[in-house]
Amino acid sequence: MNFPTGISGPVMGIVLVIAGQIAAWLFGLVRGGFKVGRLARTIELPANKTRLPELLNTAHRRLEELGFAPGASAGQFIQTGTIPGVLTSFTHAKTKKSLTLTVHDDDAQTARVEMTLLYLDPILGDTGESAYRDAVLAYVSGQADSMTTVANSSFAAFTCLTGGIIAWLAVLYLKAMGYHPLWMPLTIVGITNVLTGFMAIYAIARKPAELTGMREAIIGILLAAAAAAYAIAHSIR
């Protein structure tokens, strides 16, 4: 029952931070419907060959509009990926993905246009990637007249919220186990989650239509800060 007492404050703080991140990923996986991997989807469009050039021109124009560039193979288009150091770039439009466009001849009059979209970096929890994939396919194929803006749930905001909850669970458990000084690990957890929360708020404020989670980040900051303040107050009594 007294196993935490032998662990140093910094190590305990790092363990709690990692535990919060793992918990955020697991809860996010559940919230996203257990969708992981490349989330590939293929659609097929029958087309009269007289209209095929128009359909392909529309698809190419809209792919370029969405930031897709020609890939290494014929018919492949790549959306480039995140911009290092730019917090607001971590939205669906900046997650690296590939769209392959293939034309199949059925007969002298008709053809089938096949479009396959998949994420090149495996998704570890669907925060809206499936919805964005479907929106891209609908727009590029001409099934939709405009590109739908798909909001992305901020993982940083959710991590902050989960970290704040973990912080209070840690306060209650470590206090019951007689761990001391209580302030040291909780200060590490508090500072980490407050910084994570403010980074999430900054990113969401820059692109409110593309990122959600402002409330989660604020609640997470308050919980983490309150847990750290309580631990400090308890330690100096």
Q: Say which residue, 235 or 87, is predicted with more confidence.
A: 235
User: What tens digit of pLDDT does each residue of 68-116 get?
Assistant: 999 999 899 998 765 554 444 446 666 789 999 999 987 778 899 999 9
User: What tens digit of pLDDT does each residue of 90-101 get?
Assistant: 466 667 899 999
Query: What whole-number percentage of the chain has pLDDT above 70?
Result: 91
Residue 88 CB burial class (10 angstroms; 0-12, 13-18, ≥19): middle
pLDDT at 153: 84
Q: Is residue 41 a contact partner of residue 141, using CB atoms and an 8 Å limit?
A: no
Element (H, E) at 152: strand 152-153
Q: What is the average pLDDT across 137-157?
A: 90
Residue 76: strand, helix, or coil: strand
Q: Which two tokens stand for residue 86?
A: 């730019």
**pTM of the shown model:** 0.72
Task: Name all domains of the chain by residue range, CATH numbers in brackets.
Answer: 7-31+154-235 (no CATH), 41-150 (3.30.310.80)
Rounded Cα distance, 114 and 42, in Å: 7
Residue 43, φ and ψ in degrees, nearest 5: -125, 155
pLDDT at 213: 93
